[in-house]
Amino acid sequence: MLPMQTPQNAAAATDGLDPADWTGLRALGHRMLDDMIDHLAGLRDGPVWQKRPASDALEQPLPREGADLAAVYEVFRREVLPYSVGNLHPGFMGWVHGGGTAVGMLAEMLAGGLNANCGGRDHAPIAVEQQVIAWAAAMVGLPQGASGLLVTGTSIANLIGLLVARRATLGPGCRTDGVGGSGLVAYTSVAAHGCIPQAMDMAGLGTDALRLIEADVQGRMATPTLVAAIARDRAAGLRPFLVVGTAGSVDTGAVDDLTALAAVCRAEGLWFHVDGAFGAFAALAPSLRGLVQGMAEADSVAFDFHKWGQVPYDAGCILVRDPQHQLDAFAQNNAYLRRQASGLAHGYPWPCDLGPDLSRGFRALKVWMTLANFGTARLGEVVERCCTLARRLAAQVMAEPLLELLAPVTLNIVCFRVAALDDAANAALVAAMQEQGRFAPSTTRVAGRLAIRCAIVNHRSSEIDVDELLPAVLRLAGNK
Ligand SMILES: Cc1ncc(COP(=O)(O)O)c(C=O)c1O
């Protein structure tokens, strides 16, 4: 049980929820900030992850009376802080998780303080988001004037891209009549992320209307197979409308030949969307830029700032080349949101005209501060270094006869396995590594076989982390 609120604080409740004692709050706030800065500064000394011990601290009944904030904060410090997912840590290499920065953390605090609703209206936070969208367009090579939104993540950004493509193909009727019987079919690689079929499902088109095109040995969508599939669907009376290219596949980091896909889409009159969840950031790295330059030819691009952009969760982004298409897909005409020539309700479009969210937080501040403070050159160096580390790890895997590299390393993901162990034993080894607390890789399947998967996304990961990883794997495998 938490101690009850002091009478002083309880009395203040009659004047709203601000504290009666700002001095006390200020001191506690400074302590929170100090604690989090200490936490960030000491990351390497702690475990990447540790299992939360059994505790009923987060299984309490709904509190009728409040508790002192210091006591509530103590629960956070004791029960939450040590048991987070671990993606801040340089040894975290699982899934595709960004490391965040202290700058982003401070921006989150400022945005929280401002509590702006960024669905629309005439205020500076909207201008910050517009600035971020213009910077994002410049980053991926879309024209200035492209529209866009910050959203939770690439899953939702891909869904928005698909909905814009659907409306652009079917016209206004699809928003009033629905899409039953439209015959729309879309195409992506077998290596595409699971959020693409999910977007087809949520858009009412169904996952069966998504053709999963085979990939070549580099993991790229096979263009001739794509062209043949489009022809087959047209011959069957269906209506191809969308190709989703991937810049950085989730399993292996493969990058589709985006320029070739763009050419197919132009020739066939199809919408070209790129899922660049993390790979879009390769555009900032001089030696990798060429791999993703075809993004500039896309009709829409989805990616995350919270992955390789190192912005704290969550910060996804959707960009649409022609703003009219995005407006056509989402804008509504509600009296309570009517725009005015002046006053707070001035301005058009508002973010709520460009996507499904009306109330939206000030996500843009942490993105703006990250880009403004570090600049694209420094963020590009992080991307470059992650890929150099991935190549270093892949070379070590190839030099070790007990290990097997399972896929080419295009960007920052290395998939391998202990050759002598079966799938279950390789998976158990990954879980054991996570529990040891020095490294947190994850698993996936490559060509039907279980892979130990290391995605190097974190700006804090270094040569030491890569060089200590395989000895740890081999020790757990009982080989060294
Ligand atoms: C290629 C790709 N697309 C989409 C996603 C989904 O992104 P989010 O988790 O931000 O929704 C991911 C996540 O790792 C991804 O790697």
Q: Cα–Cα distance between 195 and 159 in angstroms, integer?
A: 8
Closest by CA position to 449, among listed 478, 470, 426, 432 = 426
Closest by CA position to 306, among listed 4, 28, 99 = 99
277 lines ligand 1 (CB under 6 A): yes
User: Would strands 210-213 and 239-246 be described as parallel, antiparallel, or unpaired?
Assistant: unpaired
Q: Is the peptide bond before 357 cis (omega within 30 degrees of 0)?
A: no
Alpha helices (H) in 53-207, listed in sequence order: 69-75, 102-114, 124-140, 154-170, 173-177, 195-202
250 lines ligand 1 (CB under 6 A): yes
Determine which residue's CA is closest to atom 16 belonging to ligand 1.
Answer: 250
Cα radius of gyration rounded to whole Å, the chain:
24
DSSP 215: B
Mutation to probe ligand 1, out of 85, 87, 96 (largest number of atoms < 8 A from CB): 96
Residue 46 pLDDT greater than 70, yes or no: yes
Which residues have CB under 8 Å from 119's CB, separation 6+? 350, 351, 352, 357, 358, 359, 360
Residue 423, class by beta-carbon neighbours within 10 Å (0-12 exposed, 13-18 middle, 19+ buried)? middle
Closest by CA position to 306, among listed 465, 476, 95 = 95
Q: Does residue 196 contact residue 277 with C-beta atoms inside 8 Å?
A: no
245 lines ligand 1 (CB under 6 A): no
Residue 177 pLDDT greater than 60, yes or no: yes
Ligand 1 centre and the CA of 154: distance in Å? Answer: 5
Q: Angle, nearest 10°, between helix axes 463-476 and 364-399?
A: 50
96 lines ligand 1 (CB under 6 A): yes
Check residue 474 and give its pLDDT: 98
Residue 9 pLDDT greater than 60, yes or no: no
Closest by CA position to 321, among listed 292, 301, 299 = 299
Residue 14 pLDDT greater than 90, yes or no: no
Residue 217 pLDDT greater than 60, yes or no: yes
Q: pLDDT tens, 218-275?
A: 999 999 999 999 999 999 999 999 999 999 999 999 999 999 999 999 999 999 999 9
Residue 334, class by beta-carbon neighbours within 10 Å (0-12 exposed, 13-18 middle, 19+ buried)? exposed
How many CB atoms sit inside 10 A of residue 194's CB? 9
Q: Relative to the CA of 307, which ligand 1 atom is closest?
A: 10
Residue 288, class by beta-carbon neighbours within 10 Å (0-12 exposed, 13-18 middle, 19+ buried)? buried
Q: Cα–Cα distance between 422 and 444 in angstroms, integer?
A: 14
Residue 57 pLDDT greater than 70, yes or no: yes
317 lines ligand 1 (CB under 6 A): no
Ligand 1 centre and the CA of 120: distance in Å? Answer: 27
Check residue 15 and give its pLDDT: 73
- 53-64 in b/e form (b: 16+ CB < 10 A) is eeeeeeeeeeee
Ligand 1 centre and the CA of 277: distance in Å? Answer: 5
Instruction: Name the percent of the chain lying above pLDDT 70.
Output: 97
Mutation to probe ligand 1, out of 87, 151, 304 (largest number of atoms < 8 A from CB): 304
Q: Cα–Cα distance between 360 and 119 in angstroms, integer?
A: 5
Q: Relative to the CA of 249, which ligand 1 atom is closest?
A: 1
195 lines ligand 1 (CB under 6 A): yes
Q: Does residue 369 contact residue 439 with C-beta atoms inside 8 Å?
A: no
Ligand 1 centre and the CA of 250: distance in Å? Answer: 7
**DSSP helix/strand/coil, 61:** coil
pLDDT class for 479, splitting at 50, 70, 90?
confident
Q: Relative to the CA of 314, which ligand 1 atom is closest?
A: 10
151 lines ligand 1 (CB under 6 A): no
Residue 403, class by beta-carbon neighbours within 10 Å (0-12 exposed, 13-18 middle, 19+ buried)? buried
Ligand 1 centre and the CA of 455: distance in Å? Answer: 13
The end-to-end CA distance of the chain, in Å, is 49
Q: Does an H or E element contain 384, and which?
A: helix 364-399
Residue 2 pLDDT greater than 90, yes or no: no
Compute the average pLDDT of residues 450-472: 98
Ligand 1 centre and the CA of 411: distance in Å? Answer: 15
Residue 378 pLDDT greater than 90, yes or no: yes
Closest by CA position to 349, among listed 359, 339, 335 = 339
Residue 343 pLDDT greater than 80, yes or no: yes
Determine which residue's CA is closest to atom 7 belonging to ligand 1.
Answer: 154
Q: Cα–Cα distance between 132 and 148 in angstroms, integer?
A: 9
Ligand 1 centre and the CA of 191: distance in Å? Answer: 12
- The two tokens of residue 405 are 């590299």
- 340-377 in b/e form (b: 16+ CB < 10 A) is eeeeeeeeebbbbbbbebeebbbbbbbbbbbbeebebe
Determine which residue's CA is closest to atom 12 belonging to ligand 1.
Answer: 277
Which residue reads 């006591």 in tokens? 71
Q: pLDDT tens, 127-163?
A: 999 999 999 999 999 999 999 999 999 999 999 999 9
Which residue reads 């709050």 in tokens? 25
Check residue 337 and give its pLDDT: 96
Compute the average pLDDT of residues 421-449: 98
252 lines ligand 1 (CB under 6 A): no
Q: Relative to the CA of 246, which ligand 1 atom is closest?
A: 1
Q: pLDDT tens, 104-134?
A: 999 999 999 999 999 999 999 999 999 999 9
Q: Angle, nearest 10°, between helix axes 102-114 and 364-399?
A: 150
Ligand 1 centre and the CA of 248: distance in Å? Answer: 10
Q: Cα–Cα distance between 458 and 386 in angstroms, integer?
A: 7
pLDDT class for 5, splitting at 50, 70, 90?
low
Please provide the average confidence, as pLDDT, over all residues in the chain: 96
Ligand 1 centre and the CA of 278: distance in Å? Answer: 7
310 lines ligand 1 (CB under 6 A): no
- The two tokens of residue 145 are 């004037």
304 lines ligand 1 (CB under 6 A): yes
Check residue 304 and give its pLDDT: 98
User: Would strands 147-151 and 300-304 be described as parallel, antiparallel, or unpaired?
Assistant: unpaired
Q: pLDDT tens, 442-458?
A: 999 999 999 999 999 99
Compute the average pLDDT of residues 377-401: 98
256 lines ligand 1 (CB under 6 A): no
